[in-house]
Chain A
């Protein structure tokens, strides 16, 4: 599996935007970029995924670099509830039913 690199931790303030980076320089043309997050004492939950174009949903936005070697998860207005570990994961197209390989992720702290 292609590897992703994320900062170990980030900190932001409530109601401010948060940009969580992910590097994936060995990404292949068929890899989708997925983001999951794990809130304290819960299992991971899906956030967003994309291939080439930027994506938006009710939780977040995903900005993908033109060369696809990096991406950024954007939380437009962070709340205390967004404090979690965020995982950037590469997956082949159509492998939604296949296993996930987790890296260490980024621990996001939100200050009130």
Chain B
């Protein structure tokens, strides 16, 4: 199994500012992912965080808005840039292990005013 922590757990931000969310795993993992969950909705994948190379973004998400870093096999950050109220969501990181299970962090609840 993998234990994942995220910081901050929640934040309230002003529009036009940026927030960086951290994801820390207790073991080395190959794949890390960032998801967004808008209010009352299911999870949508933002990007796959690749160690040592640029993240792979899903359709509708761009690097300028959601820059991602993955400096090593246990840590990743997601920045939500130039925020607007539409960015108010829960942001979750997850990790894939070599077998079938994915593990999720507790999420970061972001409110943009």
A interface residue numbers (CB < 8 A to B): 32, 34, 36, 41-46, 49, 85, 87, 91, 96-105
**Please, which residues of chain B bring their CB within 8 A of the CB of A85?**
42
**Please, which residues of chain B bring their CB within 8 A of the CB of A105?**
42
For A85, give the chain B residue with the smallest CB separation: B42
**Please, which residues of chain A bring their CB within 8 A of the CB of B100?**
32, 34, 49, 91, 96
| Given A91-B100, A101-B45, A43-B31 contact (CB < 8 Å) | no
Supply 8 further A-B pairs (C-beta < 8 A) apart from A100-B94, A105-B42: A43-B4, A44-B43, A45-B103, A96-B96, A96-B101, A97-B30, A97-B96, A97-B97
Q: By DSSP majority rule, is chain B's interface helix, strand, loop, or mixed?
A: strand
**Please, which residues of chain B bring their CB within 8 A of the CB of A36?**
102
**Please, which residues of chain B bring their CB within 8 A of the CB of A41?**
107
Which parts of B18-76 form the interface with A (CB within 8 Å)?
30-31, 33, 42-45, 48
Q: Is the CB of B98 within 8 A of A96?
A: yes
**Please, which residues of chain A bring their CB within 8 A of the CB of B104?**
43-45
Interface flags for B84-113 (1: CB within 8 Å of A; 0: not) read: 000000001010111111111111000000
Name 21 interchain pairs, CB-CB below 8 A, sorted by A.
A41-B107, A42-B106, A43-B94, A43-B107, A44-B94, A44-B104, A49-B100, A87-B42, A96-B101, A97-B30, A97-B97, A97-B98, A99-B48, A99-B96, A100-B43, A100-B94, A102-B42, A102-B44, A103-B42, A104-B42, A105-B42
Total number of B residues with any Cβ neighbor in A under 8 Å? 23
B interface residue numbers (CB < 8 A to A): 4, 30-31, 33, 42-45, 48, 92, 94, 96-107
Q: Is the CB of A46 within 8 A of B106?
A: no
**Please, which residues of chain B bring their CB within 8 A of the CB of A42?**
106-107
CB < 8 Å neighbour of B45 from A45, A87, A100? A100
Which has the most chain A C-beta neighbours within 10 Å: B48, B94, B104, B107?
B104
CA distance in complex: A20, B82 (Å): 41
CA distance in complex: A104, B38 (Å): 12
